[in-house]
Amino acid sequence: MKLCMIGTGYVGLVSGVCFADLGNEVTCVDKDINKINLLKRGKIPIYEPGLSELVTKNYKNKRLNFSTDLKKSVKESDIIFICVGTPTKKGGSSADLSQIFNVAKEISLSINKFKIIITKSTVPVTTGDEIEKILSKRNNRKKFSVVSNPEFLREGEAIRDFIYPDRVVIGSNNKKAGKILKNLYSPLISKGASYLQTSRRAAELIKYASNAFLATKITFINEIANLCEKTGISVEDISIGMGLDKRIGSRFLRAGPAYGGSCFPKDTKAIISTADKFKTNLSVIKSVIKSNENRSKILLDRIYQILNRKVKNKKITFLGVTFKANTDDMRDSSSLKMIPSLSKKGAIITYYDPTGHKKEFVKLKNVTNKTSIREAVQGADLVIIHTEWNDFKSLNFKNLVKGKKFTIYDMRNIYSSKKISDQGFKYYSVGK
Ligand code: UGA
């Protein structure tokens, strides 16, 4: 099948490359000519393990192409995926849909035969209806079908998540489109993915409800972790004990810093904004947002306690500063709250991240990037394990440190207290 992905950000690029790898002819379109030229040279604008190899392989065998010509690419394709950004509106909480509607207007000028137009970007309920209105201003409704096909890829795991999804959700009331898309996804369905066809509005809401639910699950266990810290219980026992109940499930029950990234914070706000529009109060999600916003304060307070409230001139090392492991994404990372706050209080901060130096900290006083774990931890009073990269999982702290031993605050509960204490280090973790 001939596919066109509009927007070569995270969603468009990963999905486009994976569809090409499944044997489709895919054109990834972006208006940013520099990005397109980079991609043609095999350079990947985002950090995603395994993506570069797949781009090179499929570009070489000509199943994958890159272009800035939206109209031509749409004309030559059967299925068009809209994958542009839907960030939070400036000064508001709803999703900014201007890029989606601009693309829809451009597509409407290029419908030369039956096209399936799909929103893969996360879009609020009724966006598909709006796109349909835009397209039908210039085109007969029989010449296109607007479908919602949300993506559930996680950064850092995106290729695996694409190839082995739990489910494929197609929101369409059009039988012909439904049949074509089931066929497009058949290689994944035959490997075990569930296929669900719903109304378009339902598919749009499934995406937001899923992200809001996962954010709720994390926030729930984070609050239980606070209680565990006060009662001498390990939150890991609670996660295991709860997770064994099949109705609950063990995934996304790991306590840690505030959730971050480009999706949960944005999508929880946007679903509330949609609900407001329909005069519905999503009070649970509202309190999840509030609790998560307060989480960094709670973790900061633990840092102050660990340092006996003497932060000035204390040397603090962060291992990992992105919002989670296996990504270079800093968006809404809890380190963006913690590091500035500690720097303001006079701490001397060094950080090491496997994805390198971060521009976000350049202007802060006494915050330095180091290019190795060993360098970063030398002379530290406190080492904070902020993300769970494999690089941080089997450290021999005894061999790493030359001088005085530091205290460790493991925000991802990677290590066991006994193992670290046996090496002579003071050790703190989350929810214990
Ligand atoms: C999330 C969803 O998991 C994807 O299904 C969805 O497609 C994506 O948003 C999106 O809407 O595009 P992502 O933001 O890449 O994916 O990251 P997650 O792996 O979900 O992690 C989000 C945050 O939750 C991170 O800060 C992570 O550290 C935190 N988390 C996750 C926990 O604190 N505990 C957990 O048990 C799991």
Residue 381 belongs to a domain:
yes
Please say which residue of 198, 228, 244 terminates a domain. 198
Domain end point (choices 179, 198, 217): 198
Average pLDDT over residues 303-309: 97
Q: What is the pLDDT of residues 162-184, one digit of tens each?
A: 999 999 999 998 999 999 999 99
- Amino acid code (one letter) for 92: G
Nearest residue by C-alpha to atom 1 in ligand 1: 154
In the predicted model, what is the mean pLDDT of the chain? 96
Protein residue with its CA nearest to atom 11 in ligand 1: 263
Which residues constitute the domain of residue 325?
A: 295-429
Asked if residue 157 belongs to a domain, the reply is yes
Q: Say whether pLDDT at 374 is over 90.
A: yes
CATH number of the domain to which 369 belongs: 3.40.50.720
Report the distance separating Cα 8 and Cα 20, nearest Å: 14
Is 244 a domain residue? no
In this structure, what token pair is assigned to residue 402?
């030359």
| Beta-sheet strand order (sheet of 194-198) | 64-67, 25-29, 2-6, 79-82, 115-119, 144-148, 167-171, 194-198
Nearest CA, atom 28, ligand 1: 324
Residue 375 contacts residue 352 (beta carbons within 8 Å):
yes
Number of structural domains the chain divides into: 2
In a domain, 153, yes or no: yes
Q: Which of 15, 47, 263, 411 to mutate to test the pocket of ligand 1 (most atoms within 8 A of CB)?
A: 263
Q: Does residue 307 form part of some domain?
A: yes
Residue 124 pLDDT: 96
- Residue 269 within any structural domain of the chain: no
Where does a domain end: 156, 183, 198? 198
Point out the ligand 1 atom lying closest to the alpha carbon of residue 222. 33
Distance 258 CA to ligand 1 centre (A): 11
* 182 and 310 co-located in one domain: no
pLDDT at 117 over 90: yes
Distance 103 CA to ligand 1 centre (A): 27
Same domain, residue pair 21 and 154: yes
For 98-124, what is the mean pLDDT? 96
Residue 267 is assigned to a structural domain of this protein? no
Q: Give the tens place of pLDDT for each residue, 55-64.
A: 999 999 999 9
pLDDT of 213-240, one tens digit each?
999 999 999 999 999 999 999 999 999 9
Q: pLDDT digit string (tens) for 188-220?
A: 999 999 999 999 999 999 999 999 999 999 999
Q: What is the structure's pLDDT at 401?
A: 87
Same domain, yes or no: 194 and 304: no
Residue 167 in tokens: 């489910």
| Catalytic positions | 263
Q: Is the pTM of this model over 0.85?
A: yes
* Residues flanking ligand 1, CB < 6 Å: 122, 151-155, 211, 214, 218, 252-254, 256, 259-261, 263-264, 323-324
Mutate to test the pocket of ligand 1, among 119, 153, 322 (most ligand atoms within 8 A of CB): 153
Give the pLDDT confidence score for residue 53 in this predicted structure: 95
Evaluate whether residue 36 is within a structural domain: yes
